[in-house]
Amino acid sequence: MVQAKPPFPSKLLLLSLLVSILAIFDNGVQCFQGKKVLSMHKFQWKQGSNSSTCLSQETRWENGATILEMKHKDSCSGKILDWNKKLQKHLIMDDFQLRSLQSRMKSILSGRNIDDSVDTPIPLTSGIRLQTLNYIVTVELGGRKMTVIVDTGSDLSWVQCQPCKRCYNQQDPVFNPSTSPSYRTVLCSSPSCQSLQSATGNLGVCGSNPPTCNYVVNYGDGSYTRGELGTELLDLGNRTAVNNFIFGCGRNNQGLFGGASGLVGLGRSSLSLISQTSAMFGGVFSYCLPITETEASGSLVMGGNSSVYKNTTPISYTRMIPNPQLPFYFLNLTGITVGSVAVQAPSFGKDGMMIDSGTVITRLPPSIYQALKDEFVKQFSGFPSAPAFMILDTCFNFSGYQEVEIPNIKMHFEGNAELNVDVTGVFYFVKTDASQVCLAIASLSYENEVGIIGNYQQKNQRVIYDTKGSMLGFAAEACTFD
Ligand SMILES: *[C@@H]1O[C@H](CO)[C@@H](O)[C@H](O)[C@H]1NC(C)=O
Ligand SMILES: *[C@@H]1O[C@H](CO)[C@@H](O)[C@H](O)[C@H]1NC(C)=O
Ligand SMILES: *[C@@H]1O[C@H](CO)[C@@H](O)[C@H](O)[C@H]1NC(C)=O
Ligand SMILES: *[C@@H]1O[C@H](CO)[C@@H](O)[C@H](O)[C@H]1NC(C)=O
Ligand SMILES: *[C@@H]1O[C@H](CO)[C@@H](O)[C@H](O)[C@H]1NC(C)=O
């Protein structure tokens, strides 16, 4: 039976006391017996800090690795007056974002260029992918500080460039290549220009006089960046200069990029930051995504020296499933356990699941989702239900509770690797007063769509991408920068 603690505990008082004494207390989250306790007061729903303070994040160099402080974009977007609206908007955007990703995969597989017409079901609202791409770091390009979004589902890095035909508002000054002696234009005859198709889904187009390599990245939702490829000195922080870093100098950019100067692609293809720095970092990077509701920092670590991680459980590795056509990271999800019960579904181990830093909610094939939901609801009974919200259909009203005890959810991957979902990654607060709190996992529309492991379930984990060894590792870690 699931134990819950009502506001005025009666019979459960003794048990609760005992539990409190035995439990390991970590950030307001207690952990015991394959179940975890989520405190309703854990989330602070802060108003948001001054945007100026978070646009210059720190970097540190340690044991051959470069450690970049990583923050949630919301902590930089000024005051959040209405958290409820914000939380709900994130979900709406996440749904658009998923459809745009699915359509991007389809067009890459079918060899078509992605133009906006392919994505007709998605309304022309800007910046959807970018609104769900929540994590930012600060780097130096051509000697200037830039705060950029990080994305494992993108390959080409880009920043807005002067002169702009069209630029959205950003916090840092817009990069001006003509004042940077280290900037070079990439010509369309160069091999990097040929790589654009796999990196962006669109072929490079030759400009005239000089024959620049013009790129287009459409995020499938009306937001885009267009410009020419260039190379520049990229400094990831102290002692880590990347010479001739290939990036997009964006002259025509539209979308709600949250004041960031651009984006850094951590994908698999040859133009990504990871491929371009593989001589320096061995093709290994990792991140720890902080929880969104506070101003916590996480980290993006370039390089694979595990001595810099602060993981509290051993790292378990799984094989990355090669997919030569799609520049994304795929894993083989072989099972899910709820508490100590293994969920049964025929689709486990069938197709690769994408792991993504820019999709919020994990999407599972319908058969797996249904089995997971049934088992979860079975073990997590006795709580008042609440209406579904958007893609989330398993919702509860916790407004009468100070804390709830929830069954552990573990995702298992080929090679006995596991992702033990942090207690903050199980429920999505649709309403901050906890009157509508939903299981933060959703179903895909069709069994044959590509499943995605979203960033909500990756919080407070060290997630290690070893692109050379073609392995991905998970370990629990409370994310901080220090
Ligand atoms: C924001 O900045 C202003 C002035 O720069 C300062 O007075 C105010 O206290 C700051 N607010 C927060 C929440 O740090
Ligand atoms: C990894 O870190 C350890 C210190 O913990 C250091 O001795 C070792 O040289 C580092 N390895 C590399 C490749 O830098
Ligand atoms: C680089 O690191 C060294 C020592 O770690 C420090 O003394 C120096 O100030 C740093 N430089 C910059 C630009 O951060
Ligand atoms: C996933 O792993 C299982 C168990 O090792 C294996 O049977 C299955 O073929 C794998 N699936 C894929 C898509 O590689
Ligand atoms: C949630 O539960 C509380 C008390 O437990 C109740 O007062 C409130 O009306 C419920 N809210 C909704 C939206 O059902």
Dihedral sign (CA 404, 293, 392, 389): positive
Q: Quick one: what percent of the chain has pLDDT higher than 90?
A: 54
Q: Is 63 exposed, middle or buried (0-12, 13-18, 19+ CB in 10 A)?
A: exposed
Distance 452 CA to ligand 1 centre (A): 39
The size of the chain, in residues, is 482
Distance 298 CA to ligand 2 centre (A): 22
More confident residue, 78 or 420: 420
Distances (CA, A) of 309 to 124, 314, 459: 41, 11, 15
311 has pLDDT over 90: yes
Query: Whose Cα sits closest to atom 10 in ligand 2?
Result: 63
- With a 6 Å cutoff on the Cβ, whether 402 touches ligand 5 is no
Nearest Cα to Cα of residue 205 among 227, 225, 232: 227
Mean pLDDT within 176-185: 96
- With a 6 Å cutoff on the Cβ, whether 117 touches ligand 2 is no
Q: What is the pLDDT of residue 47?
A: 58
- With a 6 Å cutoff on the Cβ, whether 323 touches ligand 4 is no
Mean pLDDT within 104-115: 64
Instruction: Return the SS3 of 6.
Output: coil
- Residues annotated as part of the active site: 151, 356
31 has pLDDT over 60: no
Q: Is 110 exposed, middle or buried (0-12, 13-18, 19+ CB in 10 A)?
A: exposed
Whole-angstrom distance, CA of residue 100 vs CA of residue 111:
16
Whole-angstrom distance, CA of residue 83 vs CA of residue 19:
32
Question: Out of 8-17, 60-69, 121-130, which region has the weakest mean confidence (pLDDT)?
Answer: 121-130
Task: Among 399, 401, 429, name the best residue to mutate to test ligand 5's pocket (greatest count of ligand atoms within 8 A of Cβ).
Answer: 399
Distance 67 CA to ligand 2 centre (A): 14
Q: Are strands 297-302 and 329-331 parallel, antiparallel or unpaired?
A: unpaired
Distance 52 CA to ligand 1 centre (A): 10
234 has pLDDT over 80: yes
Distance 306 CA to ligand 2 centre (A): 9
Whole-angstrom distance, CA of residue 301 vs CA of residue 481:
10
Average pLDDT taken over every residue of the chain: 83
More confident residue, 292 or 417: 417
Query: Whose Cα sits closest to atom 6 in ligand 1?
Result: 50
Mean pLDDT within 280-284: 95
- With a 6 Å cutoff on the Cβ, whether 143 touches ligand 5 is no
How does residue 184 score in pLDDT terms, banded at 50, 70 and 90?
Answer: very high
- With a 6 Å cutoff on the Cβ, whether 349 touches ligand 4 is yes
Looking at the CA of 80, name the nearest ligand. Answer: 1
Whole-angstrom distance, CA of residue 480 vs CA of residue 147:
19
Question: Out of 42-56, 150-164, 207-221, 420-434, which region has the weakest mean confidence (pLDDT)?
Answer: 42-56
Query: Whose Cα sits closest to atom 11 in ligand 5?
Result: 435
187 has pLDDT over 70: yes
More confident residue, 427 or 48: 427
Atom of ligand 4 at shortest range from CA of 321: 14
Question: Out of 111-125, 157-171, 281-295, which region has the weakest mean confidence (pLDDT)?
Answer: 111-125
Q: Are 148 and 263 within 8 A, CB to CB? A: yes
The H or E element spanning position 96 is: helix 83-110
Q: What is the pLDDT of residue 309?
A: 95
Q: Are 135 and 64 within 8 A, CB to CB? A: no
Mean pLDDT within 179-203: 91
Q: What is the pLDDT of residue 25?
A: 39
More confident residue, 33 or 19: 33
Atom of ligand 2 at shortest range from CA of 305: 1
Whole-angstrom distance, CA of residue 422 vs CA of residue 312:
12
Q: Which residues contact 368 (CB under 8 A, 6 or more apart)?
A: 333, 336, 343, 345, 347, 348, 451
Q: Which residues contact 191 (CB under 8 A, 6 or more apart)?
A: none
Atom of ligand 4 at shortest range from CA of 319: 14
Task: Give the CA diameter of the chain.
Answer: 81
Q: Are 217 and 40 within 8 A, CB to CB? A: no
Distances (CA, A) of 281 to 228, 285, 335, 355, 465: 27, 8, 32, 21, 12
Query: Whose Cα sits closest to atom 6 in ligand 4?
Result: 349
pTM: 0.86
Looking at the CA of 75, name the nearest ligand. Answer: 1
Query: Whose Cα sits closest to atom 7 in ligand 2?
Result: 63
Residues with CB under 6 A from ligand 1: 49-50
Distance 295 CA to ligand 1 centre (A): 15
User: What confidence tens digit (pLDDT) does each residue in 319-369 have?
Assistant: 999 887 777 899 999 999 999 999 999 999 998 999 998 888 999 999 999
Q: Are 71 and 54 within 8 A, CB to CB? A: yes
In the structure encoding, which two tokens stand for residue 405, read together? 């005890």
Q: Where are the beta strands (DSSP E) in 97-176?
A: 135-141, 144-151, 158-160
51 has pLDDT over 60: no
Query: Whose Cα sits closest to atom 4 in ligand 1?
Result: 50
107 has pLDDT over 60: yes
Query: Whose Cα sits closest to atom 11 in ligand 4?
Result: 349
- With a 6 Å cutoff on the Cβ, whether 162 touches ligand 5 is no
- Omega before 327 within 30 of 0, i.e. cis: no
Whole-angstrom distance, CA of residue 27 vs CA of residue 34:
18
Whole-angstrom distance, CA of residue 369 vs CA of residue 360:
16
256 has pLDDT over 60: yes
172 has pLDDT over 60: yes
Q: Looking at residue 153, what DSSP letter applies? A: T
Mean pLDDT within 159-176: 93
Q: What is the pLDDT of residue 2?
A: 44
126 has pLDDT over 60: no
Q: What is the pLDDT of residue 48?
A: 53
Query: Whose Cα sits closest to atom 10 in ligand 4?
Result: 349
Q: 39: how many CB neighbours lie within 10 A of its CB?
A: 16
Distance 422 CA to ligand 2 centre (A): 29
The H or E element spanning position 108 is: helix 83-110
Whole-angstrom distance, CA of residue 303 vs CA of residue 314:
18
Q: What is the pLDDT of residue 10?
A: 45
Distances (CA, A) of 87 to 41, 72, 167, 282, 371: 17, 14, 27, 37, 27
How does residue 132 score in pLDDT terms, banded at 50, 70 and 90?
Answer: low
Distance 63 CA to ligand 2 centre (A): 5
Instruction: Return the SS3 of 438.
Output: strand
Domains for the chain: give ranges and CATH numbers: 24-46+303-476 (2.40.70.10), 51-300 (2.40.70.10)
- With a 6 Å cutoff on the Cβ, whether 379 touches ligand 5 is no
Task: Among 50, 51, 77, name the best residue to mutate to test ligand 1's pocket (greatest count of ligand atoms within 8 A of Cβ).
Answer: 50
